[in-house]
């Protein structure tokens, strides 16, 4: 079968990982790129040998016959670009955060559904191999029925050097990083009915919150705590590791710093190293995230080829995005927020 022909829109900081990832993805290649910044267009075009370069997304859609677009711009442009893809009947991947607001995200899902066009959100954290390893333990029934989870991301890594815009928005850690961790909670324990949230800004040099603590009721009956911080200086910097505790009716799972997985269950206790591989183009400490980029892009190609819905489809991601909106609303009101009312 012929390779799928894709185009990348947005050639910034993270898109370089996606371009490397496409080289490692079977069944697709990027044949054109687009960025309104000529310098980024040249840097990425030259590095990856892409001759077809567009400064304007409308010109890209007019000029190319595409099987998909990979939208790697920041959130304000996501809705117009996804709706443009839908108008051209081109399947689209859209980076997280899906959109500036839940109303925008719902409109994007509707536009693609009405056009009959697949839409996937690049929500890659659940594709990290250590997270997949935790899910595999749950799925094989080793710890019985999960009743508690703690999904934790605490760090003092300087994310602002690579992504300076993160220091300027009124919303920071929940919208940018917490969104991944909330999605992992959904991935491991199922959909959420209620969330209670508290936030704080410890680093006074940034505009948004850099600490968030969230308590959730899952429809399964499980309770989870999702806690995120970019204000936590630790002896050994864990970025970008997500640490996980799951307690079940027959045992427990602990994913500890250093990618150490301890499972105590029906078969006793096992300790294993679930470190992600260091891909040829990857660099520590980002290799965990970089590997997940290849995994989610391969999933997209497999879904397009088979005609199946991606696990992080636009429709699915509305439930993760609603958690973000609910967490901000609950942090402001200091009241629990019901998810049903938002979806
Ligand atoms: P960036 O600012 O470095 O890059 C964005 C690029 O998009 C810029 O080069 C900009 O010129 C271009 N652009 C913006 N609007 C455009 C438009 N309408 N048409 C053409 N080009 C346009 O941002 P970044 O740090 O690379 O982040 C991009 C997205 O990736 C964000 O949504 C961010 O949250 C997300 N991200 C995801 C992960 C992950 O692990 N999934 C990690 C980092 C960033
Ligand atoms: O994954 C992300 O969205 C990144 C980072 C890990 C730095 O928060 O912005």
Provide the CATH number for the domain formed by 4-117 in this structure.
Answer: 3.40.50.720
Residues 6+ apart with CB under 8 A from 206: 160, 166, 167, 168, 172
Ligand 2 pocket, residue 228 CB under 6 Å: no
Asked if 125 contacts 104 with a C-beta cutoff of 8 angstroms, the reply is no
Q: What is the pLDDT of residue 2?
A: 86
Q: Is 243 in a helix, a strand, or coil?
A: strand
Asked if 134 contacts 192 with a C-beta cutoff of 8 angstroms, the reply is no
Residue nearest (by alpha carbon) to ligand 2 atom 6: 177
Name residue 92's beta-bridge partners.
Answer: 69, 119
Burial class (CB in 10 A: 0-12, 13-18, 19+), 164: exposed
Residue nearest (by alpha carbon) to ligand 2 atom 5: 177
Residue nearest (by alpha carbon) to ligand 2 atom 7: 159
Domain range summary for the chain, segments of one domain joined by +: 4-117, 126-281+320-338
Ligand 2 pocket, residue 75 CB under 6 Å: no
Ligand 2 atom nearest the C-alpha of 179 is: 3
Q: Is 7 in a helix, a strand, or coil?
A: strand
Ligand 2 pocket, residue 12 CB under 6 Å: no
Determine what percent of the chain falls in helix, strand and coil, rounding each to the nearest 5. Answer: 40, 25, 35
Pocket-testing residue among 18, 21, 74, 128, ligand 1, by greatest number of atoms within 8 A of Cβ: 74
165 Cα–ligand 1 center, Å: 10
Residue nearest (by alpha carbon) to ligand 2 atom 1: 177
Q: What is the pLDDT of residue 82?
A: 99
Ligand 2 pocket, residue 163 CB under 6 Å: yes
Ligand 1 pocket, residue 72 CB under 6 Å: yes
111 Cα–ligand 1 center, Å: 22
Sequential pLDDT tens for the chain (343 residues): 789 999 999 999 999 999 999 999 999 999 999 999 999 999 999 999 999 999 999 999 999 999 999 999 999 999 999 999 999 999 999 999 999 999 999 999 999 999 999 999 999 999 999 999 999 999 999 999 999 999 999 999 999 999 999 999 999 999 999 999 999 999 999 999 999 999 999 999 999 999 999 999 999 999 999 999 999 999 999 999 999 999 999 999 999 999 999 999 999 999 999 999 999 999 999 999 999 999 999 999 999 999 999 999 999 999 999 999 999 999 999 999 999 999 9
Provide the CATH number for the domain formed by 126-281+320-338 in this structure.
Answer: 3.30.360.10
For the complex shown, is ipTM > 0.95? Answer: yes
Q: What is the pLDDT of residue 123?
A: 99
* Placement of tokens 């029906």 in the chain: 266
Ligand 1 atom nearest the C-alpha of 73 is: 7
Residue nearest (by alpha carbon) to ligand 1 atom 8: 12
Threshold 0.95, pTM exceeds: yes
Beta strand segments in 116-180, E: 119-122, 146-154
The phi-psi region of residue 110 (left if phi > 0; otherwise alpha if psi is between -120 and 50; otherwise beta) is alpha
């Amino acid at each position: 079968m012929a390779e799928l022909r894709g185009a990348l829109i947005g050639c910034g900081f993270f898109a370089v990982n996606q371009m490397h990832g496409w080289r490692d993805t079977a069944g697709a290649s990027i044949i054109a790129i687009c960025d309104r910044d000529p310098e980024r267009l040249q840097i990425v075009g030259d590095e990856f040998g892409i001759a077809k370069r567009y400064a304007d997304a409308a010109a890209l859609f007019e000029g190319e016959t595409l099987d998909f677009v990979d939208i790697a711009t920041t959130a304000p442009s996501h809705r117009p670009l996804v709706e443009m893809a839908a108008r051209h009947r081109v399947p689209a991947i859209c980076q997280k955060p899906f959109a500036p607001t839940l109303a925008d995200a719902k409109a994007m899902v509707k536009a693609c559904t009405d056009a009959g066009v697949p839409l996937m959100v690049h929500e890659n954290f659940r594709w990290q191999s250590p997270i997949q390893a935790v899910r595999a333990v749950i799925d094989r029934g080793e710890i019985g029925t999960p009743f508690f989870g703690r999904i934790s991301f605490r760090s003092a890594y300087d994310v602002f050097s690579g992504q300076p815009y993160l220091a300027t928005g009124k919303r920071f850690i929940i919208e940018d990083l917490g969104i991944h961790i909330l999605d992992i909670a959904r991935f491991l324990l199922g959909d959420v009915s209620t969330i209670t949230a508290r936030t704080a800004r410890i680093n006074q040099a940034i505009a948004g919150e850099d600490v968030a603590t969230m308590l959730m009721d899952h429809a399964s009956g499980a309770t989870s705590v999702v806690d995120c911080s970019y204000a936590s200086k630790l002896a050994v910097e864990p970025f970008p590791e997500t640490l996980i505790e799951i307690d079940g009716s027959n045992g427990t799972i602990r994913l500890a710093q250093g990618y150490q997985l301890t499972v105590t269950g029906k078969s006793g206790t096992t300790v294993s190293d679930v470190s992600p591989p260091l891909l040829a183009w990857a660099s520590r400490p980002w290799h965990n995230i970089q590997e997940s980029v290849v995994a989610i892009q391969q999933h997209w190609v497999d879904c397009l080829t088979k005609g199946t819905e991606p696990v992080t489809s636009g429709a699915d991601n509305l439930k993760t995005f609603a958690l973000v909106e609910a967490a901000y609303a609950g942090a402001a009101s200091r009241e629990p927020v019901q998810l049903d009312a938002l979806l």
